[in-house]
Amino acid sequence: MKKRVSLVAPFYNESGNVLEFFRRIAAVADSMPQYEFEVIAVNDGSRDQTWAELLEARTRFPGVHLVDLSRNFGKEAALTAGLDRAHGDAVVPIDSDLQHPPEVLEQMLAQWELGAEVVLAQRTDRVTDGKLQKLSATSFYRFHNRISNIQVPMDVGDFRLMDRRVVEALRQMPENHRFMKGLFAWVGFRTVTVPYIHSNRGAGTSSFNFWKLWNLALEGITSFSTAPLKIWTYLGLGVSALALLYATIIVLKTIVSGVDVPGYASLMAGIMFIGGVQLIGIGVLGEYVGRIYHEVKRRPVYLVREEHCNERINDAR
């Protein structure tokens, strides 16, 4: 029997990219008849014509499994919905905006056949990113890998091939707040890397902005490291030591020179500094408590409004 390859593609406001995405996937599938391909397309609450175009694509490309979420749950939840429905021997999360070239699948499958259980697609350049995006991405990876025991590979996104056993391992993780890059790295398994050139978007603009990227970075840091909590413990000890040292100096100065009336400016500066440190520490603690609050409610990661099961994409013409 042919080995099945499942492609998991989240869609959010990708009207204009849908048909071209499936056309390129079908071309790759036709070039590798030794595999049976399926696409799990997850519509993550799009507000444009994405769902209508997905329904049209399914009539032209029968190998498509459509999942329409009840609202926008975010890319991590959409990926989870797709992975839950992927039955392939190999599973590949891939962006629907055509920035992940489907033609790289041939290299990834070749490495998988040689024994790799995870094949990472690593960007060779960031010419499609702005200066701020380049700087923030590099800074995040370096900071995350420095404070976390889980090392997230540089310049590697969700585009990767995973063996069936890797996907089964991911399904065992019950958390609601999901930083997929961290979860992918946490499970381990034998991993190799293939380079690829990140393409421009086929149509439209990215839905990610600075605020969403910032929240995703916070999710990644708090999901896989308690270092921020430890940092504020040591910072508190340092501030306490400085306060004790300053108090000792004042006592000695008073003994030697007599009573000294502290200045108003220095007093206010000290109060504001200590108050600021406390508030920041409470904020860091609040980030972790908030995530605990959301986890203990055990709400589902996503809800499905409508679903259409698939046939083989190799049958598409």
Could you give the angle at which helices 18-31 and 105-113 cross, rounded to 10 degrees?
Answer: 40
- What sign has the CA pseudo-torsion 186, 37, 110, 129? negative
Question: Mean pLDDT over all residues of the chain?
Answer: 77
Q: Where are the domains of the chain?
A: 3-209+300-315, 227-296
Tell me, what's the pLDDT at 314?
45
Q: Is the pLDDT of residue 272 over 70?
A: no
pLDDT (average), residues 93-111: 87
**Nearest residue to 317 (alpha-carbon basis) of 102, 23, 6:** 23
CATH code for residues 3-209+300-315: 3.90.550.10
The one-letter amino acid at 247: A
Interval 39-66: pLDDT, tens: 998 998 888 888 888 888 888 877 788 9
Tell me, what's the pLDDT at 316?
43
Prediction pTM value: 0.69
